[in-house]
Structure 1
């Protein structure tokens, strides 16, 4: 560092200490209604993670966001392509430029990359002493890929001593301790206690990587700064693939809210509620082809209650819950389903697809636009030539033959009756559940299958098809067409659409349960 830059650094330190003296007397954070929060992290040009996610999280939680860039990352919702790390001296310039001028109420630290960058941040923290420092130790991606050089891991461990809160995922928690990843929640909490003991830091232990139906998070501190060593909050697990940047967003939100409340427990409660809503509504954004971002500003964006799909999805929530509790679904995910039941299911589905394709062809004939006409025609073709082929390949050689079952017949009769007598909007509502519920149940099945371990699963190849992005995109298009068809319809016609959708959804439930009754 040059003598000139060293002088600016010291001037910056004195300025921030003066701010701290004026605004930090133990209750200072509670009077900052709009805390000034600095994010030190890498970039994400697709906007879902890193600096971009941090700034959204800070704003969404009532803060004023600032940023110092540690790395330029070429990435999108499908993965990282390359990383460029600017010189550490330039990071120093960024940090001092901010702290020369602005009193910083909280700091969130994300991707650091290498030992030199970590050292730069550590020296700056030691001099400036921000009132709130939240460290998200970006070391291991959700995919399992290592994001930090091995020689830099020890430097990052030392940086923990300068943080107030650290927010590792479970693989990162294990790396910080030099241990194997926790297999269950109790082991995760034990690892959190050990990390807190070693470094004198509070630990946010996150249960998102565990294969459980709920999603626990807990503040863990063995140093007496909480009401107990563990303060735990639980929420339901949100079934969405759009979780890109969740860890970045959580840590930035914690830094912001803590600077407003001064209470870590209250901060986690508030942030967890915000993050749950951001995940619940993530699918509305429709950003990218991979794991899309969460909806940071969901609380400021009116829920599309006037959309037909929102209303009908909420009205059929009980049916979806019943489907996921069926023995067929549970055993299929676990790989314990009998081959006889699976064979019956595929044979019936092959027969169903023949009738379903006729309903789709009728929708194509009634479609008011060329785009919708082409969509339904292509879907009808796929039923016969693509999806049915998957069934035939599995059934071939197994000698599985089955007459059309009563549930299959009733479901097809329902679709054909709506095709013959119903309006285009009513027919669309009747055919969409086969897309939407199939995608929903398939996603749940795929998650359970992957959590249980895919190796040796007898139906693995079939379940893998549920991860197909092309089908997910077709489902989104079908739902959008349904919403368009429902717009400006009289209430009576919307109710007929609703009834058609609910009847089909109920038939989907019976269809999944039929192998238990008839195989």
Structure 2
């Protein structure tokens, strides 16, 4: 089904333009390479014994985005969620031994550089980078911790600036950005972007300007490159601030995730649009970890159902959907949609049935809202119902009005709507919420995968379904899906054994109908 946020409107800076392709990998010439489903990513950083930052956070972020993580330790710290108590920097020649041992044996697809400590360590890293020339280098210039603790000796700042031109992406916080350009810490978004332009112009690298330390409800991030390596000089990805004190290791996690996704898809814009909502979810779920009494860590694996705990109801549901996802990816419709070879008449039929389905789905969501036990859940489902009607109208305006399609209700669409209507008639909020969930969850999973494949192919020009595939990266729908999953999980935990069985049955039937819906155009033709 189409996501209830599938056709968003956005400002010019919010909207992803056609990707610049693999040339955007670096600010200088990078080796020709193939993108890997499981990139091998090396973290060169300090160790955090509390597990929230440094190489510990990097390895979690790399794994969370499908990479194979490695680590070369630059410094040992004594710290916890309340602050840093001590830093020990081992001899630089031992770091060189670590790096040489890795690159002599393992092909490294991406490197994330974090805490470096002193000038000797920086020189060792620089010499190794100049020798190995990794295809992706992300530099997080760790100079000052969120807690205010200084993590880089002042005498090493000049050496760090000399390392910047070897990076393809630099990810400073606002205090570090100001230090690197020799200015004051900016309190406005416009001022931060200007410093980002200055740093990019001075280094040739792309700069990720982060709005996390600004005041206000908005929390944008932006990719800045003045050398023409992006679709525009400044690409802004908007976001909302997550109200939490648990932000320990956020910068480490973001930069390691960016390195991993870039090595997988080859596009900084696509990488940020994938990583930013993941990090927002990690912040939102941070309180569930209950780690430390200070500035706690983020939840790197919040998006993996299996880690929600043994017996998690959502995890059980997701496990049952594995075969349906496998079947969806094997469909000719899905393969043709990504490659662009899907016949126009099959896509037109899909759109027409989607519009019909969304009309019925909106009524079922409205019923879900009416049955919901809390005001929060009522508002969520009601907003989703309204979005369905908006998307249906947009489909007719922008897509269906230019195509000759059959308006009749198809058999698969009828079966799906009838199934949801029956769940609605049950009078059980839990069962109905489980029935409507696959249209969020499976669609979000499939959409993310298809969009990543499309981006990895370089968003080929002339692709007939390019605009449609780009809608799959919508951040609002990803956030709505997380909310829907959490609500169904809560309903399942509170339900009786009999109701849980009914929820499983309703969910699995909807999953199967999702498969049939994607395959309906082939059957119809």
Q: Under TM normalisation by the shorter chain, which class is it?
A: 0.5 to 0.7
Residue 260 (structure 1) aligns with: 264
Is contact 1:254-1:267 (8 Å) kept? yes
Instruction: Report the Cα distance in structure 1 between the residues aligned to 2:276 and 2:31, rounded to whole angstroms.
Output: 25
Instruction: Report the Cα distance in structure 2 between the residues aligned to 1:25 and 1:45, rounded to whole angstroms.
Output: 35
Number of residue pairs matched by the alignment:
301
After superposition, residues 283-432 of structure 1 pair within 5 angstroms as: 283-301=287-305, 314-315=376-377
Is contact 2:75-2:89 (8 Å) kept? yes
SS in 1 for 2:116: coil
Q: Please state how far the C-alpha of 1:211 moved relative to its aligned partner.
A: 0.3
Residue 109 (structure 2) aligns with: 105
Q: Please state how far the C-alpha of 1:146 moved relative to its aligned partner.
A: 2.3
Q: Does 1:38 align with 2:42?
A: yes
Residue 331 (structure 1) aligns with: none
Cα gap change, 1:268 to 1:150, in 2 (>3 Å): same
Of structures 1 and 2, the one with the larger relative CO (CA 8 A, separation 6+) is 2
Q: Does 1:269 align with 2:273?
A: yes
Cα gap change, 1:179 to 1:25, in 2 (>3 Å): closer
Is contact 1:40-1:70 (8 Å) kept? yes
Residue 28 (structure 1) aligns with: 33
Is contact 1:39-1:51 (8 Å) kept? yes
Instruction: Report the Cα distance in structure 2 between the residues aligned to 1:311 and 1:165, rounded to whole angstroms.
Output: 46
1:182-211: CA deviations, max 9, x gaps?
120000000000000111111000000000
Q: Does 1:219 align with 2:223?
A: yes
Residue 195 (structure 1) aligns with: 199
Instruction: Report the Cα distance in structure 2 between the residues aligned to 1:27 and 1:243, rounded to whole angstroms.
Output: 36
Instruction: Report the Cα distance in structure 2 between the residues aligned to 1:282 and 1:200, rounded to whole angstroms.
Output: 35
After superposition, the CA RMSD in angstroms is 2.6
SS in 2 for 1:65: strand
Instruction: Report the Cα distance in structure 1 between the residues aligned to 2:277 and 2:133, rounded to whole angstroms.
Output: 29
SS in 1 for 2:294: coil
Residue 139 (structure 1) aligns with: 143
- TM-score norm. by structure 1 comes to 0.55
Runs (4 or more) in structure 1 with deviation over 3 Å come to: 24-27, 302-307, 310-318, 486-492
Is contact 1:29-1:258 (8 Å) kept? no
Instruction: Report the Cα distance in structure 2 between the residues aligned to 1:110 and 1:99, rounded to whole angstroms.
Output: 18
1:190-233: CA deviations, max 9, x gaps?
00000001111110000000002011000000001001100010
Instruction: Report the Cα distance in structure 2 between the residues aligned to 1:317 and 1:85, rounded to whole angstroms.
Output: 53
Match of 1:233 among 220, 230, 237: 237
**Structure 2: gaps spanning 5 or more residues:** 1-28, 316-371, 381-489, 500-525
Instruction: Report the Cα distance in structure 1 between the residues aligned to 2:182 and 2:239, rounded to whole angstroms.
Output: 29
Is contact 1:29-1:262 (8 Å) kept? no
Instruction: Report the Cα distance in structure 2 between the residues aligned to 1:83 and 1:266, rounded to whole angstroms.
Output: 36
Instruction: Report the Cα distance in structure 2 between the residues aligned to 1:291 and 1:25, rounded to whole angstroms.
Output: 38
Residue 128 (structure 1) aligns with: 132
After superposition, residues 58-207 of structure 1 pair within 5 angstroms as: 58-207=62-211
Instruction: Report the Cα distance in structure 2 between the residues aligned to 1:124 and 1:284, rounded to whole angstroms.
Output: 40
SS in 2 for 1:67: strand
Is contact 1:27-1:262 (8 Å) kept? no
Instruction: Report the Cα distance in structure 1 between the residues aligned to 2:375 and 2:292, rounded to whole angstroms.
Output: 23
1:117-167: CA deviations, max 9, x gaps?
000000000000000000000011223332211111011011001100000
Instruction: Report the Cα distance in structure 1 between the residues aligned to 2:146 and 2:205, rounded to whole angstroms.
Output: 23
Is contact 2:146-2:248 (8 Å) kept? no
Is contact 1:45-1:76 (8 Å) kept? yes
Q: Please state how far the C-alpha of 1:315 moved relative to its aligned partner.
A: 3.3
SS in 2 for 1:298: coil
SS in 2 for 1:227: coil
Cα gap change, 1:489 to 1:33, in 2 (>3 Å): closer
**Structure 1: gaps spanning 5 or more residues:** 1-23, 319-482, 493-519
Instruction: Report the Cα distance in structure 2 between the residues aligned to 1:158 and 1:200, rounded to whole angstroms.
Output: 12
1:471-492: CA deviations, max 9, x gaps?
xxxxxxxxxxxx9xx9677999
SS in 2 for 1:28: coil
Residue 385 (structure 2) aligns with: none
SS in 2 for 1:205: strand
- TM-score norm. by structure 2 comes to 0.54
